[in-house]
Structure 1
């Protein structure tokens, strides 16, 4: 069993300590370092090469969004999960644009936290249903975003079945749920998901959700 290396980034000591205590007792998770602001986070990630970064948004010196951009520019394979309390919807949109692998609520339970870290480390996207709804509403109601929903590069290259899979991904269905809905095997769905991401030039399901709403394949309703 490989160990998941995690970096904690938050300017609140209590948050870092709490998350650290929860994760450090897991046999397959190792805390490789902590940072109190975005500038420290960029240096920490460069030095320790974690698999997953739990990144706060509002921090001194360099906020979590800017830090995420730098982290992913240096190493696109790093999985960054934004910690949020829903306070700023504009941060959520900016985080998607920055390439985060998902969002985690600071009010999450210990089980939700450990499951989220493992899921993201395995290459899955982390989309809290409540947060996803808010992001979707922003995409479908914002003027500048609406203007970008007409053309998505690579969309015409998708087969009908791949498009069906993309729509269900955007609706929040897991691979197993998609397989049941389309009456195919889970392995087949995984193949379709991989092809969708490759054809559209996406890194994970979070970006796939964004693309589906930009292209108008699904709506907030």
Structure 2
């Protein structure tokens, strides 16, 4: 149980989900919601303005992704405490959450009980990636990923056209098909075609796999942009 007041900033580009998390936590005596952010850029601004004890943020958001926003925050404030939210989980997400400076990752379908456990852990500077992950397992995931996965994944980028790389970058930022179409000045069906071509070239079998790949290679893609 929490033994002190924890001030929380919540970031998610979906207002209904953001309000849902807030409503779950409002009745907790030791929790105070001090602000909301609707994208990564807003999260960075609100963090330094409001100075929360803990940030709960979606991984994929417009403008700047949650991962990138936390990477920026952790460079300026190494003591930042962050729990990431995602519809997906797995080793890739754990790795990138930790490398950006986050201490936790929980699925958006989490129960209130486990959310409270995550808040207790992370607010005290401990890692939390679900009940099934021990500290030893988390460290092994990070080590294994750095040794084996990153090079093979990023090498595959060169199979993609520049337009496909741009679609992948925008997916990693959390943009929807219609938002990508507007930003690239193309039709939604063209975006869907690019997405299908990416999945075929990279042998990705599902949308969650595509999102994992997009987040994994996001930094490499940005470095390649003119």
The equivalent position to 2:144 in structure 1, one of 120, 140, 143, is 140
Indicate yes or no: 2:95 matched with 1:93: yes
Q: Where does residue 65 of structure 1 map in the other structure?
A: 67
CA distance in structure 1 between the partners assigned to 2:84 and 2:13 by the alignment: 13
Which SS does the other structure have where 1:42 is aligned?
helix
Which SS does the other structure have where 1:119 is aligned?
helix
- Displacement of 1:67 in angstroms is 0.3
Q: Is the 8 A contact 2:14 2:38 kept in 1?
A: yes
- 1:126-165 Cα distance to aligned partner (Å, 9 max, x none): 1214678799568537754599xxxxxxxxxxxxxxxxxx
- Please report the TM-score for the alignment, with normalisation by the length of structure 1: 0.58
CA distance in structure 2 between the partners assigned to 1:110 and 1:73 by the alignment: 31
Q: Where does residue 22 of structure 2 map in the other structure?
A: 20
Q: Is the 8 A contact 1:80 1:102 kept in 2?
A: yes
Specify whether residues 93 and 99 from structure 1 end up closer, same or farther in structure 2 by C-alpha distance, changes over 3 A only.
Answer: same
- Displacement of 1:14 in angstroms is 1.8
Which SS does the other structure have where 2:69 is aligned?
helix
Which SS does the other structure have where 2:33 is aligned?
strand
Specify whether residues 137 and 94 from structure 1 end up closer, same or farther in structure 2 by C-alpha distance, changes over 3 A only.
Answer: closer
- Please report the TM-score for the alignment, with normalisation by the length of structure 2: 0.57
Q: Where does residue 40 of structure 2 map in the other structure?
A: 38
1:129-208 pair list within 5 angstroms: 129=131, 140=144, 144=148
- Displacement of 1:88 in angstroms is 7.5
- Displacement of 1:25 in angstroms is 0.7
Gaps of at least 5 residues in structure 1 are 148-221
- Displacement of 1:4 in angstroms is 0.1
Which SS does the other structure have where 2:8 is aligned?
strand
Q: Is the 8 A contact 2:89 2:107 kept in 1?
A: no
Q: Where does residue 118 of structure 2 map in the other structure?
A: 116
Matched length: 147
Q: Is the 8 A contact 1:3 1:29 kept in 2?
A: yes
Q: Is the 8 A contact 2:91 2:141 kept in 1?
A: no
Q: Is the 8 A contact 1:92 1:135 kept in 2?
A: no
CA distance in structure 2 between the partners assigned to 1:19 and 1:12 by the alignment: 11
